[in-house]
Amino acid sequence: MMKMVMMAAMAALMLAGQADARQAGDWTLGLGLGRIEPPAGNGTVIGATLDIDADTRPVVTIGHALTDRLGAELMLSAPFRHQIQLEGRGTIGSFRQSPTILSLQYHHPLSERLTPFAGIGLAHVRFSRAQGAGLLEGAALELSDEWGLALQAGLDVAVGPRGAIRTEIRWLDLQPELRLNGNDLGEVRIDPVAMGLSYVLRF
């Protein structure tokens, strides 16, 4: 995914054209793909390490420029689907997560074509369709919905007067509670890195 993001950014640089300056009051709509990659080792259950796999899904962003450089952005996505692996036991379950992230961003134009930005915000993640598999086939799994800090860094590369190719990376602080048949098994340290590639239209 990271290689694809870098290749897209290089292609956008070659195709980039004249761009209007970002102005207070502008709105943006972004359509693209996001990939959530939890780190290795997401917690311990019955003495063994949990691992959660990565997934890629469509994402949508809606932004509003509060000033020429400060903006607010809302990110929504299709549900990401993940498998839960238990060290030495294989797949023991799966779940879906649907993140919603509201961020405050600072944009710092380097030229007419390149605008890096950074953001900080709040993420709410709804977990659904958790179910056991393999060793836990038929068991009732549940992950609690979670609020957490969201950090963001990215780069907009202009591809026309109102369009840009955006590459970005986010880090989410997510540690939901895992329950098995109603019994609390402790926190699952998901804390994922989310990478994104999208086309952003400003209007």
Which residue bears the tokens 């957490």? 148
Question: What is the pLDDT tens value at each position of the chain, 203 positions in all?
Answer: 545 444 444 444 444 444 567 789 999 999 999 999 988 776 666 667 888 899 999 999 999 999 999 999 999 999 999 998 888 788 989 999 999 999 999 999 999 899 999 999 999 999 999 999 988 888 888 999 999 999 999 999 999 889 999 999 999 998 888 888 888 877 788 889 999 999 999 99
C-alpha 176, offset from chain centre:
16
User: Is there a contact between 184 and 140 (Cβ–Cβ < 8 Å)?
Assistant: no
Structure tokens at 46: 């019955």
Q: What is the DSSP letter of 15?
A: H
Interval 96-151: pLDDT, tens: 999 999 999 999 999 989 999 999 999 999 999 999 998 888 888 899 999 999 99
* Cα–Cα distance, 127 to 186 (Å, whole number): 16
